[in-house]
A and B are shown apart, each in its own frame.
Chain A
């Protein structure tokens, strides 16, 4: 199985900060990478698919990049509603696997 490793596991940031989260795959996965946001008690929400494509309705302050084994999710200017846990996910290769999550907390 392909393992997905996220870092950091948590980050403290202020409103307006630029936040970057990384995800590394244990082997090359081309651009088959998605990012989800999850708030407490809620289902995950798809933000980015195919490594860099913005899901419909997601604010443009979210962006994704990378291919092969190394990927990043960037929030260009953190907003109050962005405090949540973020997961990367391997797509199009089964079994699907998720990273361990990155909790974005208020500084």
Chain B
């Protein structure tokens, strides 16, 4: 069965970086785009960007350009999302999510369990 398993919770100081992983199983990793979505405590959902695991191509929301980097390692079916220059308002649960179909539509049928990133001095 399709699974996306994310890395564990992180606590970081302002100005630091964090890298969250998302390990895929149960399907062909290179066949489906992976997106990242975050959710601040008690708030709604915010799309951050996508990566094409086959080509490595990425597309980031304007808000995150220059501060977010999405990568992948096809040998271990894992996608990564790194946020640099962390601020307190980056405190959130970060989710990876898989495209529903093998093209880019922005519809997510499988999600990781979420990774809480806390930014605090």
Contacts and interface: CB of A to CB of B under 8 A. Distances in A.
A62 interface: no
A43 B109 contact: no
B108 A46 contact: yes
A2 to B, nearest CB: 12
A13 interface: no
Contact of B44 (A43, A90, A93, A100): A100
A46 B107 contact: yes
Sorting the interface of chain B by its residue count into under 10, 10 to 19, 20 to 34 or 35 or more gives 20 to 34
B121 interface: no
Given A43-B95, A49-B100, A91 B47 contact: no
Contact of B109 (A46, A87, A97): A46
Interface in A43-87: 43-46, 49, 55, 87
B105 A91 contact: yes
A101 B44 CA distance: 7
A15 interface: no
A44 B106 contact: no
Nearest to B96: A43
A96 B106 contact: yes
Interface stretch (B10-18, B70-78, B83-91, B110-118): B110-118
Contact of A34 (B44, B95, B107): B107
A44 B100 contact: no
Given A43-B112, A44-B111, A91-B106, A97 B47 contact: yes
Contacts of B100: 46, 49, 55
Nearest to A97: B47
Interface of A: 32, 34, 36, 38, 43-46, 49, 55, 87, 89-101
Interface of B: 35, 44-47, 59, 61-62, 95, 97, 100, 105-109, 111-114
